[in-house]
Copies of this chain bind each other. A is one copy, B any other.
Amino acid sequence: MALYRVKVYISYREGILDPQGVAVEKAAHSLGFEKVSNVRVGKFITMNVEAESEEEVKKEIEEMAKRFLVNPVIEEYSYEIEEVK
């Protein structure tokens, strides 16, 4: 068994309204950061996964994404896996 460190990035799909992103953008503009645009706020999930191989971790993550982490209708995701030495 090896230990893997996983980072999952979840964001709204393009075209999906993101009220938190709109709020952050407005705050930025009203504080003088006017060259900021297209702000989107998503989720950044980190976790440890014990597995026999990176391939197994990949499977776990994709299965978790499908089962409960990601709503594919409105969200998209990507991830990174790194073995912890």
| Partner-B contacts on A (CB < 8 A) | 9-11, 21, 24-25, 27-28, 31, 33, 35-51, 60, 63-64, 67-69
Contacts and interface: CB of A to CB of B under 8 A. Distances in A.
A60 B47 contact: no
B49 A45 contact: no
B51 A45 contact: no
Given A24-B69, A31-B68, A40 B49 contact: no
Contact of A47 (B39, B64, B67): B39
* Residue of A21, A43, A45, A50 with most partner-chain B CB within 10 A: A45
Given A37-B48, A39-B46, A67 B31 contact: yes
